[in-house]
Structure 1
């Protein structure tokens, strides 16, 4: 029988935004975060500490009906929040536990490109997306990091190409 997950801490947050560039300017110039990476013109990853990112911003397509909406999936605002687990083994155990408890898993287990973190995303009772993650790149004076722009492709989303997904993978292709 799988055991209940034991998160180490609250991790990063991902927000859907109407204007990625304006949001990046706000969070860097006003809030004081640093850019770690971009996925073309679709996402930006920012940090204030050692984690590769503690905030990620995802562009809502301008033609999307939710572009001007409020709290619904794909709308401006929260896409997901995350809790850190210690390893792939803990994430695999968490996946079994969630499945046993009938929790709706949305995506994962996978490994993102930017940040190289492992991920497992699931829904809470209100439909909010919650993520367990592990093994994120750490940025320190001894381990500096040079930001890069990733292509908006499968390698940026899941370096393992859905091989470890415990649910059917999404139809894949950049959304433009």
Structure 2
């Protein structure tokens, strides 16, 4: 029996060619609200009480410059997620995945924007699946003012990879060591 019990389908993250154009589309056409940004690299949007149900990630310039049909595997869905019960359930899930040789991609960690805990792993087709927990709620009793986070280790993982089950991404490992 699986160690984690998903409670609901959570959020998804899309990789986009022009993050500002995409934010304009998702706010003015779809009607979402911006929760937070990480520099000009990522934006978190919501339609309900979760801090975010859609994330947009800017493609690197060399990928973004290509016509949409030539962007390749990087355009579109980066990951989708399921909410689980908390840190204990994420830790049990990580153990369960490792026992079954399911590749863990990143986590266990705690994001800055949304403050959610995360564990990302691969399905049989190479799709990124995330279990997350404890995301900030935004409603009348819990107002939230959007902010811009610097693209730092703490925006990615407030715990600075202490609970990661795999090596930290090279970009953030360099930032953690103080290299540009």
Contact 1:70-1:77 within 8 A present in 2 as well:
no
- 1:103 — aligned with what? 102
Q: Residues 1-176 of structure 1 correspond to what in structure 2 (within 5 A)?
A: 3-64=2-63, 67-68=66-67, 69-72=70-73, 75-171=74-170, 172=172, 173=174
Q: TM-score, normalised by structure 1?
A: 0.93
CA RMSD of aligned residues (A): 1.8
Tell me: CA distance 1:3–1:128, structure 2 relative to 1, closer, same or farther (3 Å): closer
SS at 1:63's partner residue?
A: helix
Q: TM-score, normalised by structure 2?
A: 0.91
Whose helix proportion is higher, 1 or 2?
A: 2
Instruction: Tell me how many residue pairs correspond in the alignment.
Output: 172
Q: Give the distance between the partners of 2:108 and 2:115, measured in 1 at CA.
A: 13
Which consecutive residues of structure 1, in runs of 5 or more, have no partner in the other structure?
Answer: none
Tell me: CA distance 1:55–1:124, structure 2 relative to 1, closer, same or farther (3 Å): same
Q: Give the distance between the partners of 1:150 and 1:42, measured in 2 at CA.
A: 10
Contact 1:162-1:169 within 8 A present in 2 as well:
yes
Contact 1:111-1:119 within 8 A present in 2 as well:
yes
Contact 2:4-2:92 within 8 A present in 1 as well:
yes
Say which is worse superposed, 14-23 or 3-12, in terms of deviation. Answer: 3-12
Contact 1:83-1:133 within 8 A present in 2 as well:
yes
